[in-house]
């Protein structure tokens, strides 16, 4: 072996060593970058978990606040319901009084109508008796002994009741029956 061969061997070993060092340096930089990217991803995951935990805590706080508001709202609604019930009771009493007034007015108008019909019968030369005219045709509304409707029967029964509270209860039952067509208590 001569020196030139030895020099070529040394140069070859040095070139291989330089290539290995360059490769190691390049791969070390890539590993460092990969390690930094992995650490960054882990940090992002930790941040995302922290944000989710914060959102969950806020949601729980909002649920607690909503529950408190709901309980306060329910209490207020209960108070409103009591007030509406009291108002409805007052309205029912007012309407019951109005119904009595309207019934009295209706009775007055019926009496006036009956009086007008009686006067018309007195003036009409073709009326032979109270129920038929001269042609024998049945006249409606001239039979004063028959009640006009079932509500008249109930009204006469109501008026015979002694206690005013019984009258209110009976009127309420009558209205319930009139609306539905069936008897509800």
What is the rounded CA–CA span in Å between residue 25 and residue 156? 115
CA distance 93 to 171: 11
Q: Where are the domains of the chain?
A: 26-84, 96-123+149-185
Percent of the chain predicted with pLDDT > 90: 50
Residues 178, 180, 184, 185: is their CA dihedral positive or negative? negative
**How wide is the angle at C-alpha 101 spanned by C-alphas 96 and 106, nearest 5°?**
120
> Which one-letter DSSP state was computed for residue 140?
T
Helix, strand or coil, per DSSP, at residue 127 = strand
Report whether 163 contacts 143 (CB < 8 A).
no
Average pLDDT over residues 17-39: 90
Q: Tell me: pLDDT of 54 over 70.
A: yes
Residue 25 reports pLDDT greater than 80: yes
Q: What are phi and psi of 2, to 5 degrees?
A: -95, 175
pLDDT at 167 over 50: no
Q: What is the pTM of this model?
A: 0.33
């Amino acid at each position: 072996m001569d020196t030139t061969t030895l020099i070529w061997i040394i140069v070859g070993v040095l070139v291989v060593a330089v290539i290995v060092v360059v490769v190691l340096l390049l791969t070390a930089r890539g590993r460092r970058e990969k390690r930094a990217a992995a650490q960054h991803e882990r940090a992002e995951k930790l941040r995302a978990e922290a944000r989710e935990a914060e959102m969950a805590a806020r949601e729980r706080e909002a649920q607690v606040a909503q529950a408190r508001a709901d309980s306060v709202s329910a209490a207020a609604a209960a108070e409103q319901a009591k007030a509406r019930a009291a108002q409805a009771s007052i309205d029912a009493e007012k309407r019951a009084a109005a119904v009595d007034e309207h019934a009295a007015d209706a009775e007055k108008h019926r009496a006036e109508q009956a009086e007008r019909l009686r006067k018309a019968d007195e003036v009409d030369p073709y009326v032979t008796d109270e129920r038929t005219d001269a042609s024998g045709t049945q006249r409606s509304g001239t039979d004063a002994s028959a009640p006009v409707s079932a509500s008249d029967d109930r009204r006469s029964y109501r008026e015979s009741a002694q206690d005013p509270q019984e009258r209110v209860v009976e009127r309420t039952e009558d209205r319930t029956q009139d609306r539905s067509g069936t008897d509800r208590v």
